[in-house]
Amino acid sequence: MKTIKTEILGADVAGYDRAAAILAAGGLVSFPTETVYGLGADARDDQAVARIYAAKGRPSFNPLIVHLSATDAVAEYVDMTPQARKLADAFWPGALTLVLPIKADAKVSKLVTAGLQSLAVRVPDHPVAAQVLSSFGGPIAAPSANPSGRISPTTAAHVRAGLDGRIDGIVDGGACGVGVESTIVSCVGAPTLLRAGGIPVDAIEACLGTALLRDEDPAAPAAPGQLASHYAPTGQVRLNAPYAEAHETYLGFGAGDAALNLSPSGDLIEAAANLFAMLHELDALGAKHIAVGPIPNHDLGQAINDRLRRAAAPRD
């Protein structure tokens, strides 16, 4: 991966303006929230979101949390169920992430949801995060700002140690107060705890007046990434195909003829940006048999291949 200059930005008007300009240009900016530092990108921009995965070196497309400035803004993207509304009123802004059904017309990159029909949303409780969100004026997708497999950063120095040269900027807003990630509750079905975190489970259960289901509960929805094929096209998928047979629709990578091409120039960031949209497009085309060209297994290629292996896995 090419090294870029990582600007250290102040928690002041000049810093927020610069952060907003970088985000608007499709770049990556780390900023503090009350839990941990996030690695932000414009959640509507496929290429910008793909860069998050590239910078973190994530070997798979785990879906990302979209950060918004207020509960009103959240309601543009997801269906606020009555239980979600209760939790939002009680805990936002704050260290609670809600997973909710995504609206059909929500303008969010499919790479953010990793192709799921749900979206994780949160209104952070930190003045710097709030200023970055309002200066930018749009949804910011942000995982914790650590390289994949490393611990979450709670200072700008931690972020720099892990991601210097891989991201465009870091807004230095001091140490994070909470220090652990947000609690994640899915309200897609019965409220289910997906991750313990900054807001105690007891407080959430007291607010709802019922116990949360746990992930391991047989009645709970399966966590993403756990499933072999949580999003797969309807058609059968054959991988590492140098060319398509007559009955197959070809999803190519690099130069050559293909019905759809993840990146004619062989760029892995572009391919990641196109992946989920093209899997959906194959469905729209009614493709029954899909052949996918070989994709190099380095950098973002690892995450792309992980996703494609799931798409090709046998299904019930």
List interacting residues with ligand TXA (CB under 6 A).
33, 35-36, 38, 62-65, 97, 99, 113, 116, 118-120, 122, 142-144, 181-182, 184, 194, 224
**Interacting residues of 285 by C-beta distance below 8 A, sequence separation 6+:** 249, 259
> What residues line the site for Mg ion (CB under 5 A)?
144
Q: How far is the CB of 51 from ligand TXA (least distance, A)?
A: 15
- Minimum Å distance from CB 46 to Mg ion? 21
Is the Cβ of residue 30 or residue 263 nearer to ligand TXA in the bound state? Answer: 30
Question: Tell me, what amino acid is at 308?
Answer: L
Closest separation in Å from C-beta 24 to ligand TXA: 20
For residues 109 and 144, which CB has a smaller minimum distance to Mg ion in the complex?
A: 144
Residue 73 or 285: the one with the smaller Cβ distance to ligand TXA is 73
Q: Smallest distance from the beta carbon of 238 to ligand TXA, in angstroms?
A: 28
Residues 6+ apart with CB under 8 A from 63: 112, 113, 114, 116, 119, 120, 224
Close Cβ partners of 234 (under 8 Å, ≥ 6 residues apart): 283, 287, 288
CB 137 within 8 A of CB 21: no
Contact 126, 21 (CB under 8 A): no
193-202: long-range contacts, CB 8 A cutoff, minimum separation 24:
194/99, 194/223, 195/97, 197/35, 197/95, 197/96, 197/97, 198/34, 198/35, 198/94, 198/95, 198/96, 199/91, 199/94, 199/95, 199/96
Q: Measured in whole angstroms, how far is the alpha carbon of residue 173 from the centre of its chain? A: 23
Q: Which of 135, 127, 170, 218 is nearest to 30 (CA)?
A: 170
Residue 213 interacting entry, from ligand TXA, Mg ion, none, C-beta within 5 to 8 Å by type? none
163 binds, among ligand TXA, Mg ion, none (CB under 5 to 8 A by kind): none
Q: Name which of Mg ion, ligand TXA, none residue 233 binds, using a CB cut-off of 5 to 8 Å depending on partner kind.
A: none
Of 9 and 142, which has the nearer Cβ to ligand TXA?
Answer: 142
Name the residue type at position 240: N
In whole angstroms, the minimum distance from the beta carbon of 144 to ligand TXA comes to 4
- In angstroms, what is the minimal distance from the CB of 152 to Mg ion? 5
Q: Compare residues 96 and 237 and give the one whose CB is closer to ligand TXA.
A: 96
From ligand TXA, Mg ion, none, interface partner of 224 (C-beta below 5 to 8 A by class): ligand TXA
**Binds 116: which of ligand TXA, Mg ion, none (CB < 5-8 Å by kind):** ligand TXA
Residue 89: phi and psi, rounded to 5, are -60, -35
The residue (of 220 and 291) whose beta carbon lies closer to ligand TXA is 220
Least distance (Å) between residue 40 CB and Mg ion: 13
The entry of ligand TXA, Mg ion, none near residue 35 (CB within 5 to 8 angstroms by kind) is ligand TXA
CA distance 98 to 122: 7
